[in-house]
Amino acid sequence: MKKKDVWIIKAFLLTFFITLIVSGVSNTISTYCNFYVLLIITILIILIGIIFDIIGTSVLTANEASFHAMASNKVKGSKEAIKLIKNSSNIASFCNDVIGDICGVVSGSMGAMISIYFSEVTNLSITITALIISSIISSLTVGFKALGKQYATKNSDKIVSIVGKLLSSFKREK
């Protein structure tokens, strides 16, 4: 089996299990929450998708050479940043596609719950509220991801450095 084929299987399985967990948790929480908590959870899910999209774009456009210089000076997180950049295709696929798509699906299902709640409270048609809520969620997601991509391409080294430092903080010292 080719390395590319293994990644496709991993991506499929990761997507399935992450979606199962995130959807399960968000649906369970939302069952016991009021409208405002549901709205906050939905916004957080949208933000997670945007942040991961920024990370995915950054690893594709970052300059590996600058991180080699940092690694030689033993700058914290530089080795992790190099690994991210060397695996940029898989990292971008995971961040932009796997996490991004999961957040899109989950925010959509949360939007459906918000629509039902909003329809009941306002006595508006569920069709009208669903159209409005889904349009708001889609435009927020697409608009802020577009802004995030612009930011990511201009600040890719800085973003990858931050992610590298964050990842290195989870690494056990030998």
Residue 173: inside a domain: no
How many angstroms separate the CA atoms of 102 and 16, rounded?
Answer: 9
**pLDDT recorded at residue 161:** 95
Is there a contact between 90 and 5 (Cβ–Cβ < 8 Å)? no
In a domain, 130, yes or no: yes
Residue 69, amino acid:
A
Written as six digits, the tokens of 130 are 């669903």
| Residue whose pair of structure tokens reads 């496709």 in the numeric block | 8
Q: Is residue 78 part of a domain?
A: yes
Domain range spanning residue 63? 3-165
Quick one: tokens of 151?
A: 């930011």
Instruction: Please tell me the total count of domains within the chain.
Output: 1
Instruction: Supply the pTM of this predicted model.
Output: 0.86
Does 172 map to a domain? no
Q: Determine, yes or no, domain membership for 170.
A: no
For 119, the token pair is 């329809």
- Mean pLDDT by 10-residue block, N- to C-terminus, for the chain (174 residues)? 75 85 79 84 94 96 91 90 93 91 90 89 92 95 96 96 93 66
* 174 part of a folded domain: no
Report the distance separating Cα 107 and Cα 174, nearest Å.
41
